[in-house]
Amino acid sequence: MGRIKTRYIKVVSQKIYNMGEEKFSTNFDENKAAVTQYATIPSKKMRNSIVGYITRLKKQAE
């Protein structure tokens, strides 16, 4: 079983994903750079959670 993401992480991730869907890929490190263009996230842990969820959304879309 994986870790469960909070509703806040899911909502923010979905908004960022919808803003630049074509810029994201299934690569976590590339997505970290892309997320910084769309949002200023205060903590490293929160940024990584958001990027991980966006990566998961992209994998599900493919």
> Is pLDDT above 80 for 2?
no
pLDDT in tens, 24-49: 999 999 999 999 999 999 999 999 99
Query: Residue 24, exposed/middle/buried by CB under 10 A (0-12, 13-18, 19+)?
Result: buried
Classify residue 54: in a domain, yes or no: yes
**What is the count of structural domains for the chain?**
1
For residue 24, the enclosing domain spans 7-61
Residue 41 within a domain? yes
In a domain, 57, yes or no: yes
Residue 1 in domain = no
Return the pLDDT at 17.
95
Provide the pLDDT for residue 24.
93
Residue 23 is assigned to a structural domain of this protein: yes
Alpha helix ranges (H) inside the chain:
7-19, 28-38, 44-61
Terminal-residue alpha carbon distance, the chain: 22
Tell me, what's the pLDDT at 1? 61
Q: CATH number, domain at 56? A: 1.10.60.20
For the entire predicted model, the pTM comes to 0.88
Mean pLDDT across the chain, nearest whole number? 92
- Reading the block at residue 50, the tokens are 């958001």
